Structure 1
Amino acid sequence: MDLSSRPAECQEKLSELQKRFDFSEAELVCFELNSGTLSLAKMAAFESFLQVQRDKRVPKKPFLRTDRPLARPLTAGPPFAGDHKRPPSQVTTPINKRTREAAYADDAGTPAPLPMPSHQISVKSSINTGNLEKTSLSQRSEVKLLGPCFWAGEEGHDAYTWMDEAISERAVRRDERLQEWEAIVTATLQRQAEEAVVGTVGVRSQVETILCGRISCEGLEGRLNENSMLLEGSTLAGGAKVQLNVANCQQVAAFPGQIVGVIGQSGMAGSTFHAKEFLPGLPQEAQPLGERSSLHALAVSGPFSKKDVLDFSALESVLAEVASARERPEVLIIFGPLLDSNNTKVAEGEVYLQNTEEPCTFEEVYEELFALLGRHLLPLRQAKPPTEVLIVPALDEVLSFHPLPQPPIDVSMGPFLTRRDSLEQLQRLGVRFLPNPAHLEINGIKVCLTSADLLGPMLPQLVLRPPGKKIQEALRLLLQQRCLLPMVPREPAQVYESRASALDFPAGAPHLCIFPSISGLSATVADDTLFVNPGFLHKSAMAEVWIAPGSASLDERFRVDMKKLEKKES
């Protein structure tokens, strides 16, 4: 390019930049149109401009590394077709669309061995109150879905509609639940205090009174405490609220939205109720665990990549380890999100498949993720007896727009996929896509699964007196409220009130409840129910659960191993 027409003092610097950036006359003209005639004072700005232009020409890096031989690239072929491991030094080439579709159309034949995992699993801690020995898989698990099929439409497979729920309708649904509880709560308290009379929230009374209402916080944005506690009545009481004084109660366990019963007297003005007895809910006992009931389950939860990258090698390693383990679990539980909407790459639209220079759609990523799952779940499903694989969606799933309760992924996401081959492969394998939450019976054990955090929103708002173990008391309150997410205002906020009954325990308290939470890895027994928090795989955490047969109580029959995922040393 001829630089002689430029100022003499700029030519030496321009020659240097020409060698470094190989810029064109068009780029020079573009800079001058935006910044004015080029001069020596503007050379630094021009250099920065050229650096930006060169960065734009550099192809984007794929979200799965090409130098990692231990994890199969997402776009390297059909989900079950034979493709062999590549040595670390081999460079892969893109597969065009026609070749890839042809490979997907022909899924016959025996799959090739999967690559060796790049991570290893070790036990971080063990909760073993019964001193149980680990047992290997001996029989096929029986999995039954409890409760109604709330997502099914007239044809039995359509996801429900939810965007037409008005605020007034949400309030009506919550009030209906409160009214249902009023008669049961007041009858329970009448057996404790026969001389007390049943009153109405907001109505003054000079005698000992029984009230039932919902706990709320006096401040709209503040945290609940003993001094800011209100008792809200149903519409039968005109929706009245009174200040609740619990100073004379020996035990208090409260959170916003909790339906409680209290015994006490109202103040002179009627705006305050002085309680002396506090009923935090209605205990719901679990049915005795059968002597032959047993379970061996592994639970892993998304997100599966760290927040600033998209790399699913950790998930691949877990699936490979499970397939090759001598003690394979009877049940493998995978919580979403598969593709996290909070991931920075997803939020910025910087989603790239292996060896591609153009960003891909979310649908294409899911198609490849389903193919990845299919390759690694095939050995588990073909084993004898096969491992049951359960996949539960999450609110942070990119293409799952439904609030809680959520339909299964194949129901809500299936219409968005242009190529359903990989999803249909999983369905043919017998992988079970569950709603969120899912109430199950596995080998006679009632199990509740949800990807929603039950403890994270509740613990900061929990008022507890006398002080105790907050996590255990919070879990006990869930059982006493007979609901997974009883907080009001809702937390998380994405709850469809018209179908909120799906959050209730359908057949009494469960024996086992598994959910990931930011509150930390834990396995806690509360009122004969085992609650397990497996953590998140992007933080290298998971949990393995055993429940042994026998006549002892659940406390003596379970074992939980908290596991961590570590990269193998090269």
Structure 2
Amino acid sequence: MDTKGQIVVHFGPAADKPEIVSALEHLTKLHALSIDDLYVKWEQFLNQKQFKNADLDLANLDNFKQYLQLQIEKRAAKAPTALGHSNIVRKPKTVRSVNGSPTLFGLNVSKTPTTVKRRKMNDELELDGRSKSSPLHFSTTPLSGSNTPGSDSNSMTVTPSQDDIPSGKILESLNSNNLEIAAGIETDDERNLRILPYYDPEKYHFRTMRQNLTDVADVLDEQIEILSNIVQTHYQLQASDFGDPTIQAQSELYAVGRIVPDSSSSEEHLNEESLALETSRMGGVGRRIRLDLSNINEVSFFCGQVVALKGKNANGEYFTVSQVLSLPYPDSPTSTLEELQNISSSMDGKPSKIVITSGPYIPDNNFSMCHLEGFVERINTEIKPHVLIMFGPFIDYTNSMIARGILPVFPNIKVQPKTLDEIFIKVMAPILKNINSQIQVIIIPSTRDTLSKHAAYPQDSFDRKALHLPKNFKCFANPSTFQLNEIFFGCSNVDIFKDMKEVARGGNIFLRNRFDRVSEHILQQRRFYPVFPGGIRKKLLQENENGERTYQHISGADLEVAYLGLTEFVDGFAPDIIVIPSELPQSARVVQNVVMINPGRFIKPLGTKGTYAQISIASPELKSGLLTEVEGEFPVYLHNAWKRARVDLVTI
């Protein structure tokens, strides 16, 4: 597909004008961005208050151009302060592997998983004599080897960049008109918010990179068959109404299958002309058939989506779609009156308070913990939540200093950490231990965490004892579903909002923002990460005079397909609140009566403050009028978190 076609696919019909196409092509070349990346930045631009839902015209493209330029200027202005010397260029260190085997993530690590053998530095780190009174100044030292380019880094003092963003500033709020911010815990508070995992942690203890092809096929088939049964029940169809869409026939039939590209070459530039439907072994022996969507006014598809279609295959080459059946949304969780009364009594009728953060927790260019220290202080003295949920990565393997093989010397530590795990145990864990023991802390890993030996999704939880964390810390899997009192939380730490590449057509589709569209797909597919295959990150390096582009591939979603059943909604119902961190701007929305939250990054790459989410949930009392009774043999009540929860997105 040519560049114009890609632009129209991503930006919609409004971009199908010569002047708009020309302007967007110019921006891709000027900023060395792919069409996908440019569209993501356009979505970020539209999230600003002054440009909320702005039209795609030349005037707004001028503002968009200024927005991109301002981002570049901000990074350039802060880079010298963060790095200490603006004219120093450090080359990445080449690290030899253990026993001559290929290295993992460029670090000196054996490929065999083990909790004993960790990333080690061969050189002993020594204090450089700087002031030990402040933890904000430290020197940097290579991980190993004395002949590394740039090994004079002992002479460089890294000072974290400062910013003028006030802490505690509320950027966005949900339900702020009728709900107040909860006070949180009090001194010697006997109220205890109940935490109950709603998943089987033993199922996450599988060994990665050992996928069996038969198991993978079974899981992919099962996804189609489960949703096929749901569609049949919801639309009251007979089994005979469904058929094989890959077989030529003159009569219409219903078919359920997975959206895939019609060839491997079209996967990079997916559009409605290159879509195919993959059947299950029961529905069509696993064959694929290309789709003809010319009769459909609105299209919103992505790779891996399980869809229900009505149409016919008249020529044996295409399945001509006449109707796209909307998948039903999952049910909501309920509780009995007795359960709600017990919870209200245990909380003395007062609201609960939950705070959510998402890593990284250290800047990309140094190991300063100043923002984390300040945040812990505010957690104890000002915010005082009942529960703090912390998403990884805690120590990110994509951190530029780790990638270059450089670690700092920490002045206040007698025996310097020699592994990345020891940096957490000796530097970060003591800060986290300062959190008030009355506050319960839940930590959820990321596939980019150096602390995790399980770098695939779904991902096993951390080992609390190995990380030397106190008993008020709880380690949950990624993804995981759990109850905080009566409210069900669903948490997943893979960036679906950035990874999902939609093929969309139709005016009404573009009236909704990307966050809402992706959220609806998650709910309809009943999985935290419905994209298949997983997103692959890449960065545009250069473009030659012939228009050929060179990309650098970056690790994306590493799916353990045989265990994707663990990423589905537990028992088929949607959690009351779903939290999925993303690199896109922070957001809190109500989608189909589910509160969808992206808390934003805790700290931005150059050290400036990020955001966190603060949730205040009203007590479940019938007299409040915020609960809905579901009639039946035994009456139960919907939790209605979308009415009872106030969500504030706040600066760190």
**TM-score, shorter chain, exceeding 0.5:** yes
Q: CA deviation at 1:308?
A: 1.8
CA distance in 2, matches of 1:284, 1:259: 15
Deviations 1:532-565 (A, max 9, x none): 1111112222111122234324443222221113
- Structure 2 equivalent of residue 265 of structure 1: 312
Where do 1:471-490 residues align within 5 Å? 471-490=515-534
Contact 1:61–1:352 (CA<8 Å) still a contact in 2?
no
Residue of structure 2 aligned with 1:543, choices 613, 625, 628? 613
Q: Flag the 1:500–1:273 CA change in 2: closer, same or farther, 3 A.
A: same
- Highest CA radius of gyration, 1 or 2? 1
CA distance in 1, matches of 2:306, 2:450: 34
Contact 1:333–1:389 (CA<8 Å) still a contact in 2?
yes
- Structure 2 equivalent of residue 556 of structure 1: 643
Q: CA deviation at 1:251?
A: 4.0
Number of residue pairs the alignment of both structures matches: 438
Alignment partner of 1:319 is 2:376: yes
Instruction: Determine helix, strand or coil for the equivalent of 1:324.
Output: helix
- Structure 2 equivalent of residue 35 of structure 1: none
Q: Where does the alignment leave 5 or more consecutive residues of structure 1 unmatched?
A: 1-51, 53-58, 75-117, 153-158, 415-419, 566-570
CA distance in 1, matches of 2:476, 2:434: 19
Alignment partner of 1:511 is 2:600: no
Q: CA deviation at 1:160?
A: 2.7
Alignment partner of 1:179 is 2:236: no
- Structure 2 equivalent of residue 350 of structure 1: 406
Contact 1:392–1:434 (CA<8 Å) still a contact in 2?
yes
CA distance in 2, matches of 1:442, 1:488: 31
Q: CA deviation at 1:303?
A: 0.7
Q: Flag the 1:486–1:278 CA change in 2: closer, same or farther, 3 A.
A: same
What amino acid maps onto 1:501 in structure 2? G
- Residue range with higher mean Cα deviation, 247-256 or 212-221: 247-256
Q: CA deviation at 1:167?
A: 4.3
Alignment partner of 1:242 is 2:307: no
Q: CA deviation at 1:511?
A: 0.5
Q: Flag the 1:124–1:134 CA change in 2: closer, same or farther, 3 A.
A: closer
What amino acid maps onto 1:172 in structure 2? D
Where do 1:80-99 residues align within 5 Å? none
Q: Flag the 1:367–1:136 CA change in 2: closer, same or farther, 3 A.
A: same
Contact 1:259–1:280 (CA<8 Å) still a contact in 2?
no
Deviations 1:199-232 (A, max 9, x none): 1130122122111110112343324322222111
- TM (norm. structure 2) is 0.62
- Structure 2 equivalent of residue 4 of structure 1: none
Contact 1:210–1:261 (CA<8 Å) still a contact in 2?
yes
Identity %: 23
- TM (norm. structure 1) is 0.70
Contact 1:62–1:352 (CA<8 Å) still a contact in 2?
no
Contact 2:410–2:416 (CA<8 Å) still a contact in 1?
no
Residue of structure 1 aligned with 2:397, choices 310, 330, 341? 341
Q: CA deviation at 1:317?
A: 1.1
Alignment partner of 1:395 is 2:447: yes
Q: Where does the alignment leave 5 or more consecutive residues of structure 2 unmatched?
A: 1-89, 91-123, 140-163, 186-190, 345-350, 536-555, 605-609, 627-639
- Structure 2 equivalent of residue 202 of structure 1: 246
Instruction: Determine helix, strand or coil for the equivalent of 2:371.
Output: helix
CA distance in 1, matches of 2:300, 2:130: 50
Q: CA deviation at 1:375?
A: 3.4
- Structure 1 equivalent of residue 360 of structure 2: 303
Q: CA deviation at 1:244?
A: 1.6
CA distance in 1, matches of 2:130, 2:523: 45
- Structure 2 equivalent of residue 463 of structure 1: 504
Q: CA deviation at 1:246?
A: 2.5
Contact 1:448–1:510 (CA<8 Å) still a contact in 2?
yes
What amino acid maps onto 2:591 in structure 1? A
- Structure 2 equivalent of residue 406 of structure 1: 459
CA distance in 2, matches of 1:558, 1:461: 30
Where do 1:137-216 residues align within 5 Å? 137=184, 139-151=191-203, 159-191=205-237, 197-216=241-260
Q: Flag the 1:499–1:373 CA change in 2: closer, same or farther, 3 A.
A: farther
Q: Flag the 1:68–1:244 CA change in 2: closer, same or farther, 3 A.
A: farther
CA distance in 2, matches of 1:554, 1:61: 53
- Structure 2 equivalent of residue 435 of structure 1: 477
- Residue range with higher mean Cα deviation, 509-518 or 215-224: 215-224
Q: CA deviation at 1:65?
A: 8.6
Contact 1:295–1:330 (CA<8 Å) still a contact in 2?
yes
Residue of structure 2 aligned with 1:329, choices 366, 377, 385? 385
- Residue range with higher mean Cα deviation, 512-521 or 120-129: 120-129
Instruction: Determine helix, strand or coil for the equivalent of 2:410.
Output: coil
Q: CA deviation at 1:360?
A: 2.4
Deviations 1:435-479 (A, max 9, x none): 111210111000011222121101x33525332312212101101
CA distance in 2, matches of 1:64, 1:494: 43
